[in-house]
Amino acid sequence: MPRPILATVDTAALRHNLARARAAAPDARVWAVVKANAYGHGIERSFEGLRGADGFALLDLAEAQRVRALDWRGPILLLEGCFEARDLELCSRLGLWHVIHCNEQIDMLAAHKTGLPHRVFLKMNSGMNRLGFTPERFRAAWTRLNALPQVGEISLMTHFSDADGPKGISVQLQRFDAAAHDLPGERTLSNSAALLCHGAALASRSDWIRPGIAVYGSAPDFPAHRAAEWGLQPAMTLGSRIIGVQRLEAGDTVGYGSSFTADRPLRIGVVACGYADGYPRHCSTGTPVLVGDVRTRMVGRVSMDMITVDLTPIPDAAMGAEVTLWGRSLGGALLSIDEVAQAAGTVGYELMCAVAQRVPFALDPGSAA
């Protein structure tokens, strides 16, 4: 028998979350963002659940090839554009749309030989200060692109730094509008947080929306909202089993560094999941875990291959009992990845992207893939 850890991708949840994103901007077309191997879910495994999208957005050219290999004929957008001139050949060959965020990318395009003009997304740096042309330089970039025979349609794009927080989007939105209001072209501004938290304000600039994390069922603004409050369902479940049980007396400790001391007699379950599986080592005593459908807490340190959990609320749990580290138990109980991430001082994004290579994946509860 293989070690009992398993990550499961739920096609129905992906489909549901995609529909939920669409409902937040009913007039927009939807890029399903599948960068980082579909946020760790696997591009091929997620495809069935996401094929109702209008396009796929990602940034690795090899991943774009994998989407085309699934026979996807619709739009694919490279969110960071091309990294070197020969990437443009692949764009021409596979019909990839690409972001233009700097003058070097315009230079490459101007030197590129192509039969079919490219669809490009011109990116404005409206305040995030990672990629894009400043508002002052945006129009000159647009004018340059517009004069190139290699360019067909030009769309306009920006990305918000604080759509999930108190600073909000208004300053960036004003900069974008001031610099771009009279330029033609479709607009794409919204990631998940902007879509869910500011959808109404962005409706007139949402020809395309770009939800990532919401599609995978994690709340972009946790803990202000929980995924369930946004109507999202977990697309990934990380599950395992109890492979050992210990009985502790008051004063006994558990695990490396003896960081947890029992204050009374306790039953402890040892779970086949550790940091080498992608479970965050920064989680400590108190991190929520499901045993069967019952919520309990991790105790002690996360080690490489194991964690230990308090079985007090589940007195009948024995060897082989089902454990859910995040996602949905077989009985339907939910444990949000966002809660586990919070206990580790990080975000759901990181956890789902970091499930380790050694963890086998299955597609949909009950059926191996």
Ligand X SMILES: *Cc1c(COP(=O)(O)O)cnc(C)c1O
Q: How far apart are CA 168 and CA 163, in angstroms?
A: 5
Q: Is 57 helix (H, G, I), strand (E, B) or coil?
A: strand
Residue nearest to ligand X (CB): 212
230: closest CA among 220, 238, 239, 240? 220
Q: Which is nearer to ligand X, 56 or 260 (CB)?
A: 56
CB atoms within 10 A of CB 200: 9
Smallest gap from residue 157 Cβ to ligand X (A)? 7
CB atoms within 10 A of CB 206: 24
Smallest gap from residue 197 Cβ to ligand X (A)? 11
Q: Is 275 helix (H, G, I), strand (E, B) or coil?
A: helix
Active site residues: 35, 256
Q: Which two tokens stand for residue 271?
A: 């779970």
Residues in contact with ligand X by CB under 6 A are: 33, 35, 79, 159, 191-193, 210-214, 220
Q: Which is nearer to ligand X, 227 or 268 (CB)?
A: 227
Contact 158, 117 (CB under 8 A): no
Smallest gap from residue 215 Cβ to ligand X (A)? 8
For tokens 């990305």, name the residue: 159
Q: Which is nearer to ligand X, 354 or 362 (CB)?
A: 354
- List helix spans (H) across 70-133: 87-94, 103-110
Q: Is 153 helix (H, G, I), strand (E, B) or coil?
A: strand
Q: Which is nearer to ligand X, 164 or 305 (CB)?
A: 164
Smallest gap from residue 213 Cβ to ligand X (A)? 4
43: closest CA among 19, 72, 78? 72
Q: Which is nearer to ligand X, 212 or 288 (CB)?
A: 212
Smallest gap from residue 224 Cβ to ligand X (A)? 14
For tokens 């957005």, name the residue: 57
Smallest gap from residue 51 Cβ to ligand X (A)? 18
CA atoms within 13 A on the CB side of 228: 8
b vs e for 139-165, b when ≥16 Cβ sit within 10 Å of the residue's Cβ? eebbebbeebebbeebbbbbbbebbbe
Q: How far apart are CA 33 and CA 22, in angstroms?
A: 13
